[in-house]
Amino acid sequence: MKRWLTYQRERFPLLAHAPLVAAFSVSAVCFSHLVRREPGWPPARALIVAFATALIFFLQLRIADEFKDYEDDLRYRPYRPVPRGLVTLRGLGWIGVAGGGVQLGLALWLHPPLVVLLCLAWAYLALMSREFFVAAWLRRHPAAYMASHMVIIPLIDLYATACDWLRITQWPPRGLIWFLLVSYVNGIVVEVGRKTRVPEDEETGVETYSAEWGLQRAVVVWFAALATTALFAWQASRQIGFDRLVTRWLIVLVGLCAFYALRLVRHPVRGGGKAIEIASGVWTLLMYLSLGAIPALLAVRGAS
């Protein structure tokens, strides 16, 4: 158990991941609830299933990466838990399977038709783990790699929103597409943010966007994705009638992120890339809350 707790702390820290996944999943359910003009707060069961299923999905993504990166980790990153023998790929595989069993049980408990969307996300995750059978080509084209892998985020988000709308109707509500677009582009923000480093922090054999494109271009791509996410978030907020509140909030957040991006480009000091990674996490947390959980709370308050 100590070994698995150590693995969790190093590779899937719940204290860092759980708040982001909670904001992601709860706001997805709340957004669907609001866009359907449903009064009150979403059912607790829908929120629980969306959060637990999404958290397990992100754990399964981490486990898939452990399998995919095993050879490179042995060669370049022997300090990681799997190559240093702390845990085994076999053990991780069984945890991923057990997680799938929990996801299936939760779907059946809430609303059995959810299993269709669950299988859709599982199928895409399986294709990702095999690199869509074109691993060498994707390695040579990091933009295509990122674009193809980020599709899993709106698929998880679609499932989370379905914990609300699928119980009522067979088709997603109008306006939901903007929230799914937010999820897709924001996945790029997080992905580029965690793989952007100053030259002094680059590691041999560790693929980063800053190493592939150069620090300045990686930061520009990161901020462009963030600004695009803000635009889609504004459109999403219009669907639920909270665009004035969200617009003010987004302007403040985009301004702060622009400050950190500019500072990193002008002063690329050792460890500076961590600021972009942290900014990505804070941006994600607050942006999702502003689109779902906070408007839902305000709507409930206004109705009471």
Read off the pLDDT of residues 277-302 as tens digits, 9 standing for 90 and up. 999 999 999 999 999 999 999 988 87
Read off the pLDDT of residues 2-15 as tens digits, 9 standing for 90 and up. 999 999 999 999 99
Residues in the chain: 304
Read off the pLDDT of residues 31-75 as tens digits, 9 standing for 90 and up. 999 999 998 899 999 999 999 999 999 999 999 999 999 998 999
Integer Cα distance of 11 and 63 in angstroms: 9
Contacts by 63-72 with C-beta closer than 8 Å and gap 24+? Answer: 63/92, 63/93, 63/95, 63/96, 64/96, 64/125, 64/128, 64/129, 66/11, 66/92, 67/92, 67/93, 67/129, 68/129, 68/131, 72/205
Q: Which of 194, 250, 183 is nearest to 222 (CA)?
A: 194
The total of other beta-carbon atoms located within 10 Å of residue 119's CB is 12
Residue 303 has pLDDT above 80, yes or no: no
The predicted model scores a pTM of: 0.94
Q: What is the pLDDT of residue 304?
A: 55
Q: Which of 254, 243, 251, 249 is nearest to 280 (CA)?
A: 254
Which pair of tokens denotes residue 199? Answer: 């030259």
The domain locations on the chain are 2-303
Q: For residue 241, give the DSSP letter.
A: T
Structural domain 2-303, CATH architecture? Orthogonal Bundle (1.10)
Q: Which of 14, 27, 25, 13 is nearest to 289 (CA)?
A: 27
